[in-house]
């Protein structure tokens, strides 16, 4: 009799467990799932034709079929649409600038947009309106002076055709286009060693002016530069009827290898529009958002990549904060986080080991189990107050050899495996999602050639790929909505078969920079002609990968 009761009890428990599992799967997981399996399998629109020695063209499925790539802001100019430019963005930002502000690394409190706008407009009219060249900037936008002078120069790019020229190191030869140089400190100024004479004006972003001697009449300190400015909460701009401002250059960027690339107003506005559009329904950018730009992103090397996101957040009335070092405990309660992928993983691992209670581990397991079922949960979030509001994290990862891409070599190198071993895989992305309680979007950049990511994972894509895929490939997600991509056959890598969707990456679209040096521009044209048939394709030399059956880009590690 006792045996019978025991068997009955076990059978009852089993039945309850099975029923619970079934109910959970049918009524909870299927209803709560963010991304259907079908959507995950079809992340790109693929053309029905391809050229010989090329794959088909791939476009992000966020672009409706038959629609063009994201080209800009879609502003109205009488009965026509136009893409917009920096001045349109800043004008709209200042319309919402009553409450939002920016926290810089050199300030103990937020700087309001009225102050920033006031200083930028003052610099624009006093110093840039009659400049004879561009403004060479050696100060990161994470510092208030760097940000303000960049904004002033971008205003000048529309109004006076004077461009900001972002530098990554002190120029050792004269750059003909630069007439104003901005350096961060008097110490940097002392490293000019006679090259002061190359510039009409040198701005030192420190207040102490005791260094200014009679020998250097073209040097002013930051205090002198902004002396007499007034807070200003308006920036008026009306586009000319011929729409000519939209096609102007926005900035120059000189990479650490000395290659200068020009980016147009279109690069900025299409990147901003693309970032805004990537937020799905119900998760749109809004005035409560606060973006934290942290760690390596504040460096001169990567400063080009922060502008689109920073301006997009400000455009919606949100706040921005910059931090030199990434420390989860010291963030200013951001809702959006922009960080270097490996840097963030290291910091999160450190925080996890500091919060390694049994309950926290159990929560992490639950979060991981739910995430791989396609259900987002913040249950596993680390108990850190400053990340409580975090909802979306952007991880930056860069091509292993940016200088190779930027040099447009005639000879394509042979694919070398094992060069990107440190890149985060899908399992680590879910580790971050679970512990941060935030969506994590992996973005793949060519930081000196393309403004904004080349490809990025979907907001809702929480898949964990099989270990063999992660061991061999970087999972980049579908191509960005401002670009379209294809893979091409190269004679140096004949083992990559285009009929199996393998080859070297070529991109075309609106966020790609243009080489400034005539010789490099000619090399780029020749290479484009060779691989893209002169149809505006830019070969990314040295970047080899394949298109997955899900429409995502997988690059060989």
Backbone angles phi, psi at 430, to 5 degrees: -70, -30
From residue 208, alpha-carbon distances to 180, 200, 211, 220, 409 in Å are: 19, 21, 7, 10, 46
Q: Is 258 left (phi over 0), alpha (psi -120 to 50) or beta?
A: left
- Give the one residue of 39, 75, 105, 469 binding another protein; rule: CB under 8 A: 469
Contacts of 504 (CB under 8 A, 6+ apart): 412, 487, 488, 489, 490, 493, 496, 531, 539, 540, 541, 542, 543, 544
356: how many CB neighbours lie within 10 A of its CB?
10
Instruction: Examine residue 34 and tell whether it contacts another protein (CB under 8 A).
Output: no
Instruction: Name the token pair of 119.
Output: 């200083």
Q: Is 2 exposed, middle or buried (0-12, 13-18, 19+ CB in 10 A)?
A: exposed
Q: Which is nearer to another protein, 29 or 81 (CB)?
A: 29
Q: Are strands 502-509 and 538-547 parallel, antiparallel or unpaired?
A: antiparallel
Instruction: Name the token pair of 385.
Output: 């107050």
Window 128 to 187, contacts with another protein (CB under 8 A) = none
**How far is residue 422's CA from residue 447's CA, in Å, rounded to a whole number?**
18
Alpha-carbon torsion (477, 259, 84, 82), positive or negative: negative
Instruction: Examine residue 548 and tell whether it contacts another protein (CB under 8 A).
Output: yes
Q: How far is the CB of 46 from another protein (least distance, A)?
A: 4
Window 281 to 320, contacts with another protein (CB under 8 A) = none
Using CA atoms in the order 443, 522, 516, 482, what is the torsion angle rounded to 10 degrees?
-30
Q: How far is the CB of 418 from another protein (least distance, A)?
A: 16
- Give the one residue of 139, 219, 272, 465 binding another protein; rule: CB under 8 A: 465
Instruction: Examine residue 495 and tell whether it contacts another protein (CB under 8 A).
Output: no
Instruction: Examine residue 430 and tell whether it contacts another protein (CB under 8 A).
Output: yes
- Give the one residue of 46, 201, 378, 521 binding another protein; rule: CB under 8 A: 46
Q: Which is nearer to another protein, 181 or 370 (CB)?
A: 370
- Give the one residue of 140, 264, 368, 481 binding another protein; rule: CB under 8 A: 368
Which one of 22-30, 166-174, 186-194, 524-532 is the stretch in contact with another protein (CB under 8 A)? 22-30
Which one of 39-47, 138-146, 268-276, 316-324 is the stretch in contact with another protein (CB under 8 A)? 39-47
- Give the one residue of 12, 21, 169, 356 binding another protein; rule: CB under 8 A: 21
| DSSP symbol at 182 | E
Q: Which is nearer to another protein, 508 or 523 (CB)?
A: 508
Q: How far is the CB of 250 from another protein (least distance, A)?
A: 34
From residue 555, alpha-carbon distances to 26, 442, 450, 472, 542 in Å are: 36, 13, 17, 8, 11
Helix, strand, or coil (residue 295): helix
- Give the one residue of 466, 494, 495, 518 binding another protein; rule: CB under 8 A: 466
Instruction: Examine residue 463 and tell whether it contacts another protein (CB under 8 A).
Output: yes
Q: How far is the CB of 38 from another protein (least distance, A)?
A: 12
Q: Which is nearer to another protein, 10 or 81 (CB)?
A: 10
552: how many CB neighbours lie within 10 A of its CB?
27
Instruction: Examine residue 479 and tell whether it contacts another protein (CB under 8 A).
Output: no
- Give the one residue of 29, 67, 383, 385 binding another protein; rule: CB under 8 A: 29
Q: Which is nearer to another protein, 56 or 170 (CB)?
A: 56
Task: Compute how many residues bind another protein; rule: CB under 8 A.
Answer: 46
Which one of 51-59, 144-152, 187-195, 514-522 is the stretch in contact with another protein (CB under 8 A)? 51-59
**How far is residue 228's CA from residue 244's CA, in Å, rounded to a whole number?**
33
Window 64 to 83, contacts with another protein (CB under 8 A) = none
Q: How far is the CB of 68 from another protein (least distance, A)?
A: 16
Are 246 and 264 spatial neighbours (Cβ–Cβ below 8 Å)?
Answer: no
- Give the one residue of 419, 464, 508, 514 binding another protein; rule: CB under 8 A: 464
Angle at 417 between CA 413 and CA 423, to 5 degrees: 115
Instruction: Examine residue 36 and tell whether it contacts another protein (CB under 8 A).
Output: no
Q: Which is nearer to another protein, 57 or 302 (CB)?
A: 57
Q: How far is the CB of 376 from another protein (least distance, A)?
A: 14
Are 301 and 82 spatial neighbours (Cβ–Cβ below 8 Å)?
Answer: no
**How far is residue 543's CA from residue 541's CA, in Å, rounded to a whole number?**
6
- Residue 430, CB half-sphere, CA atoms under 13 Å: how many? 21
| DSSP symbol at 379 | T
Q: Which is nearer to another protein, 47 or 238 (CB)?
A: 47
Instruction: Examine residue 546 and tell whether it contacts another protein (CB under 8 A).
Output: yes
- Give the one residue of 6, 12, 27, 41 binding another protein; rule: CB under 8 A: 41
Q: How far is the CB of 49 from another protein (least distance, A)?
A: 5
Instruction: Examine residue 365 and tell whether it contacts another protein (CB under 8 A).
Output: yes
Of 314, 330, 389, 331, whose CA–CA distance to 112 is shortest?
314
Q: Which is nearer to another protein, 279 or 475 (CB)?
A: 475
Are 462 and 376 spatial neighbours (Cβ–Cβ below 8 Å)?
Answer: yes
Are 433 and 439 spatial neighbours (Cβ–Cβ below 8 Å)?
Answer: yes
- Give the one residue of 2, 4, 38, 49 binding another protein; rule: CB under 8 A: 49
Instruction: Examine residue 372 and tell whether it contacts another protein (CB under 8 A).
Output: yes
Backbone angles phi, psi at 7, to 5 degrees: -60, -40
Residue 101's beta-bridge partner residues? Answer: 112
Instruction: Examine residue 501 and tell whether it contacts another protein (CB under 8 A).
Output: yes
Binding footprint of another protein on the chain (CB under 8 A)? 17-18, 20-21, 24-25, 29, 40-41, 46-52, 55-56, 365-366, 368-373, 427, 430, 463-469, 472-473, 499-501, 546, 548-550, 552, 554
């Amino acid at each position: 009799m006792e045996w019978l009761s025991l068997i009955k009890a076990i059978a009852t428990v089993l039945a309850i467990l099975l029923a619970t599992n079934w109910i959970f799967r049918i009524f909870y997981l299927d209803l709560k799932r963010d991304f259907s399996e079908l959507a995950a399998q079809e992340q790109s629109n693929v053309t029905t034709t391809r050229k010989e020695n090329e794959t088909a063209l791939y476009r992000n499925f966020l672009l409706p079929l038959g629609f063009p790539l994201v080209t800009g802001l879609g502003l109205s100019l009488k009965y026509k649409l136009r893409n917009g430019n920096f001045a349109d963005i800043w004008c709209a930002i200042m319309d919402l600038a009553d409450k939002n502000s920016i926290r810089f690394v050199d300030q103990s409190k937020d700087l309001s947009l009225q102050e920033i706008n006031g200083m930028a407009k003052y610099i624009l009219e006093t110093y840039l309106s009659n400049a004879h060249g561009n403004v060479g900037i050696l100060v990161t936008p994470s510092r208030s002076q760097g940000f303000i002078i960049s904004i002033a120069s971008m205003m000048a790019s529309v109004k006076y055709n004077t461009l900001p020229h972002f530098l990554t190191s002190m120029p050792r030869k004269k750059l003909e286009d630069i007439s104003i140089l901005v350096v961060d400190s008097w110490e940097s100024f002392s490293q000019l060693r006679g090259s002061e004479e190359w510039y009409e004006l040198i701005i030192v972003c420190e207040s102490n002016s005791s260094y200014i001697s009679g020998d250097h009449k073209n040097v002013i300190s930051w205090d002198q530069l902004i002396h007499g400015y007034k807070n200003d909460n308006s920036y008026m701009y009306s586009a000319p009827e011929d729409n000519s401002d939209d096609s102007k250059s926005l900035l120059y960027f000189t990479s650490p290898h000395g290659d200068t690339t020009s980016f147009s107003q279109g690069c900025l506005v299409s990147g901003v529009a693309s970032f805004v559009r990537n937020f799905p329904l119900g998760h749109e950018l809004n005035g409560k958002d606060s973006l934290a730009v942290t760690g390596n992103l504040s460096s001169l090397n990567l400063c080009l990549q922060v502008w689109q996101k920073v301006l997009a957040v400000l455009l919606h009335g949100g706040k921005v904060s910059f931090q030199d070092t990434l420390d989860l405990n010291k963030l200013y309660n951001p809702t959006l986080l922009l960080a270097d992928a490996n840097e963030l993983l290291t910091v999160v691992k450190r925080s996890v080991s500091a919060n390694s209670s049994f309950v926290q581990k159990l929560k992490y397991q639950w979060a991981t189990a739910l995430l791989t079922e396609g259900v987002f949960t913040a249950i596993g979030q680390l108990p850190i107050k400053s990340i409580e509001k975090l909802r979306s994290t952007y991880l930056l990862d860069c091509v292993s050899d940016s200088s190779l891409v930027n040099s447009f070599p005639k000879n394509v190198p042979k694919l070398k495996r094992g060069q990107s071993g440190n890149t985060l895989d899908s399992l680590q992305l879910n580790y971050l999602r679970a512990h941060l309680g935030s969506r994590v979007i992996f973005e793949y950049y060519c930081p000196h050639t393309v403004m904004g990511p080349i490809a990025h994972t979907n907001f809702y894509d929480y898949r964990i790929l099989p270990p063999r895929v992660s061991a061999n490939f970087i999972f980049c997600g579908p191509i960005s909505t401002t670009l379209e991509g294809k893979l091409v056959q190269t004679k140096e890598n004949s083992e990559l078969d285009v009929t199996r969707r393998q080859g070297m990456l070529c991109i075309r679209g609106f966020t790609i920079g243009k080489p400034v040096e005539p010789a490099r521009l000619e090399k780029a044209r020749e290479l484009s002609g060779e691989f893209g048939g002169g149809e505006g394709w830019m070969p990314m030399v040295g970047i080899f990968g394949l298109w997955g059956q899900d429409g995502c880009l997988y690059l060989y590690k």
